[in-house]
Structure 1
């Protein structure tokens, strides 16, 4: 099937700070820290754009791997659909900056599940086409969608930014993608939506429907069962279970539901916010940088996005 050849994450130079959120919203520092678990984290500054950081990440990956821009057949830009400019193709913009002139460039919008959706889409495209590589770019701009003056938006105050690039290939993969399972429960479609205020789109929670946490605890284990059944494996074969860093309590409850110890996951809440689709790449980088992986390790990557969608992708570490 192919998989991830290499990847890179770029953090913005600016920071979102709990003290500023407190001053803007009136929510107590303690209540905000119960969401963020850290006093500050990376977020796009006033003059920073996600596509530029994604392009920097991609440029680093291409330089490190020696892959020619002419060998990339698809450039897929993933995120919420709220790009740096409206009615615009960030995939094409980055391709132009990198000298990628022979690729099909397009966008995938699936919120914080978009990165893994784009990986699956890119691998499907590789299976159908002649080009040996595809490039996935993750360009979430989550911090720009939060109204810090709105106390009801407190649950979103941990939204940060970390654009990234993922090079996919048929061979020489660091992580072979084995299978994935994704499912959307459309009954949650209107739980969040955006308002346009002063030329800025801001996320708003609609109503007070209960049960989203239960939906997470139902859907993620079901997706885990799907991929393990497809592989003929069990949870005892899983070396690490990684998940978007959106809710630490949910992360812990899910591990408990699956019967997995915290040591078989990665927690970055103490230093980073929720970095959207890049959360899983940050966790993978931590595992590789600290040499916690061995060739043949099976990892499950769990991602979710508004809609609500839940996905689990199984990868095998092939070593580097």
Structure 2
């Protein structure tokens, strides 16, 4: 099927703190920490742009794995669709800056599930041919869409920013083989969150609280995981690392408990990072690689979710970091 040759992540220079959000919203700091679990975390500054983070992540990958630029035939930029500039292609902009001029550049929008969707798209037909590659970029500007002056938006106060880049190939040496991908959307939640234009920016607004989303998370992730494990002939005991979007720590713990995976097989970054968008699971994967906690043959499962509401399970086999 193909997989990830190499990947990297990048964080903005700026940070946002619970004290900042308290000053803007009036929400007490302890109440904010119930959501963020961290006193501060990376978030785009006033003059920082998400596409530039994606460019830096991609540049790091291509320094380590210096493939010919004309061998990169797809550049896919994954996120929420609220790019730095309206009516604009961040995929094409990054390609131009990198000197990639023979690729088809386009965007994939599925919110925080977009990165894994884009990985699958990159390897679907037409997949990269022999000696060809795709470059998948994952970036968003979530913190810039949160109204930190609105106490009603407290549930979103953990939204931070980061970017990731994956060099993808269908043949040749690969660090991670894509074994299986299973995704679904429950459109009944389509309108639960929506953006609105306020003070020159898109702001995320949630509709009045509606019960059932927590149960939908567990049910959908569990079903997709079972579908994936059945296809692979594996069981939960065979999962070496289970990485999930860092949106809600309690949901993370509940899901692990439901599917029977010890917390030690996952990664918890809530003490120093917020929900960093679609880059969450790749940040955790980068941490495992950098700390040499991966072994050849490890089964790594990424659980990603997105407003809309979509859920995805992506199974990878570790084959050894390249470069």
> What range describes the TM-score normalised by the shorter chain of this pair?
over 0.9
Could you report, residue by residue, the CA deviation over 1:198-257 in whole angstroms, capped at 9, with x for unpaired residues?
A: 220000001221110010010000010011011111111110110000000000000000
What's the secondary structure of 1:127's corresponding residue?
coil
Matches within 5 A, 1:119-130: 119-125=119-125, 127=127, 129=129
| Contact 1:126 1:134 (C-alpha < 8 Å) held by counterparts | no
TM-superposed deviation, 1:319: 1.4
| Contact 2:78 2:114 (C-alpha < 8 Å) held by counterparts | yes
What's the secondary structure of 2:303's corresponding residue?
strand
- Partner residue, 1:288: 289
Runs of 4+ residues over 2 Å off in structure 1: 125-131
**1-side partners of 2:22 and 2:38: how far apart?**
13
TM-superposed deviation, 1:59: 1.2
- Partner residue, 2:89: 89
- Structure 1: state its 5+ residue gaps: none
Could you report, residue by residue, the CA deviation over 1:73-124 in whole angstroms, capped at 9, with x for unpaired residues?
A: 0000000000000011000111111010000000001000001100110111
| Contact 1:73 1:131 (C-alpha < 8 Å) held by counterparts | no
- Partner residue, 2:320: 319
Matches within 5 A, 1:98-117: 98-117=98-117
- Partner residue, 1:6: 6
Matches within 5 A, 1:219-230: 219-230=220-231
- Partner residue, 1:140: 140
TM-score between both structures, scaled by the size of structure 2: 0.97
| Contact 1:62 1:68 (C-alpha < 8 Å) held by counterparts | no
Matches within 5 A, 1:1-40: 1-40=1-40
TM-score between both structures, scaled by the size of structure 1: 0.98
Could you report, residue by residue, the CA deviation over 1:126-149 in whole angstroms, capped at 9, with x for unpaired residues?
A: 536566100001111100110001
Could you report, residue by residue, the CA deviation over 1:158-195 in whole angstroms, capped at 9, with x for unpaired residues?
A: 00001111110122111100011000000000000011
Q: CA RMSD in A?
A: 1.0
| Contact 1:243 1:301 (C-alpha < 8 Å) held by counterparts | yes
TM-superposed deviation, 1:23: 1.0
- Partner residue, 1:182: 183
**1-side partners of 2:185 and 2:296: how far apart?**
33
**2-side partners of 1:144 and 1:296: how far apart?**
39
**2-side partners of 1:51 and 1:131: how far apart?**
27
